[in-house]
Amino acid sequence: MSKTPRNNPWYWVPLLYLTEGIPYVLIITVSVIMYKKLGVDNSDIGLYTSFLYLPWVIKPLWSPMVDLYGTKRKWFLGMQLVLAAAFLGVGLSLPTNQFFVMSLACFWVAAFASATNDIASDGFYLLALKEDQQSFFIGLRSTFYRVAMVTGQGLIVILAGWLEVKYCDNTQAWSLTMVVVAGLMFVLTLVNWLLTPNIETQANYVKEESLTFGKVFVSFFAKKDIGIALAFILLYRLGESQLLKIASPFLLDTREAGGLGLSTTDVGLIYGTFGVIALSLGGIIGGIVISRDGLGKWLLPMILSLNVPNFLYYVLAYLQPESAFWAGAVVVTEQLGYGFGFAAFMMYLIYVADGPAKTSHYALATGFMAMGMMLPGMASGFVQEWLGYEGFFLWVVASAVPGIWLVRYVKFPREFGKKKEG
C-alpha cells in the first residue's frame, strides 16, 4: 500500500482517541454533574452511574467478535454512529416525567456502544503501530483521551452552565446540551472515516488473531503471573475510582453540606481550561519518558503522581476556601499527576495484552480496569454520606496504598516501551 498522509499516526491517533474518550466521560462523569443539577441525590448518583461501568467490565465476552467478523475500522465507525443516536435519545428524554429511567436506558445503550468502540479502536492502534511507536504515541493517545474527558467535564459542562443561566431551567439546558453532543459525535465519526487508513484485511485476523472464544480466555488467564497482574490492574486506581464520582458533587455542593458551592460554569471552566492544559502536559511527558527510559524506571513515580495529589481534596474540604482559585489549583495539580501516572498504566495494559489475540486480551485487561473503577465507584456515594467530605477524601488517599505496594511484585521487562535505537 502506498504511503499517504492517512497512514501517518499523527493524523488519526489524536482524533480516534478524542472520539473514544468523549462518550466515556459523558456516560461516567458528566452524567454525575447532570443528575446532580437535576436534583438526584449523591447515593443514587454513585450507585446508578457506576453501574454504567458494567459494559466495560464484561466487554471481553464479545471482544472476540471484533477480531472474527469485519475490520476494526468498520466496527468503531459503526459504534460511533450508534453513540450519536444514543446521546440524542438522552437529550430528548430529559424533559419527560420519567427522565431518570429513560435517560439511564439511553446511557446504557451508549455504554455498550462505547465499550465496543473502545475494543475496536484499541485493536486498530495495536495492529497499526509497532511496539516503539505504541510507547511513543501512548502519551499522545492518553493525552487526547484525557482531553476528551476534560472536554466533557469542561467545555460541555460550561455550555450546560451557560444554558442554565440563559433559560433558568436546568432540564432544558441539559437537554439542549445532549442534543449538541449528539451532533458532535456524528461530526467526529465523519472525520474518523476520512482520516483513518484502510490497513486491514480479513487475512490479518485469520493469520494473527482469529482464535475461538474459549482459546482467547484460556490463553489470557494462562499468562505468567496473571494473578498479580490482575490485582495490580484492579488496585492501580482504587482511590481515583472513588474520587471521580464525588469530586464534582463536592465542588458543586453547598458550603453548609461541606462542599465549595461553585457554579456549574465554574466547575466546567476549571476542568476545561487549566485542567486540560495540565492533563495534556502530564500525559505527553509520561509518554516521552517511557519511550526514552522504559516502563520499569517510571512505574513507581507515576503511580505516586496519580495518587498523592488526591490529599489536596481533603485540604479543600477542611479549609473550604471561598475563592475558586484554590479549587482550580487542586484540580490542576491532580490532573497533571493523573496524566503523568495514567501513561504508565496504559503501557502496562499493553504489556499484559501482548501476544496472540492482543485485541481480545487488551479488552480483557481493560475490562478488569473497568471493574476496578465500577465497584468502588458504586459505593462512593454511600461512603461519602457516611464519612462526610473530609473523611471521604482521607479514605481515598488510604485506598491508594495497596496498588502502590504491589508495584514491587509486578513483573515485566524493565525497558518495555523504550524506543529502539536505529
The pTM of the full predicted model, rounded to 2 decimals, is: 0.70
Report how far residue 324's alpha carbon sits from residue 26's, in angstroms, rounded to the nearest whole number.
Answer: 24
Instruction: Spell out the residues 6+ positions from residue 188 whose beta carbon is closer than 8 angstroms to its own.
Output: 15, 18, 19, 22, 80
pLDDT in tens, 160-172: 999 999 999 999 9
Task: Using pLDDT thresholds of 50, 70 and 90, give the confidence band for residue 131.
Answer: low
In one letter, which amino acid is 202? Q
d(Cα 404, Cα 235) in Å, to the nearest integer? 8
Tens digits of residue pLDDT in 288-335? 888 888 888 999 999 999 999 999 999 999 999 989 999 999 999 998
pLDDT (average), residues 12-30 = 90
Q: What is the DSSP string of 344-376?
A: HHHHHHHHHH-STTHHHHHHHHHHHHHHHHHHH
Who has greater pLDDT, 127 or 392?
392
Residue for grid cell 461501568: 53
Please name each of the domains of the chain with its CATH number: 9-406 (1.20.1250.20)
Task: Name the band, by pLDDT with cuts 50, 70 and 90, for residue 4.
Answer: very low
Q: Can you tell me the mean pLDDT for 15-33?
A: 90
Angle between helices 264-272 and 324-353 (to 10 degrees): 50
- What would the pLDDT profile of 87-112 be if each residue is shown by its tens digit? 999 999 999 989 999 999 999 999 99
Q: Does residue 383 register a pLDDT over 50?
A: yes
- As a whole number of angstroms, the distance between CA 418 and CA 397 comes to 31
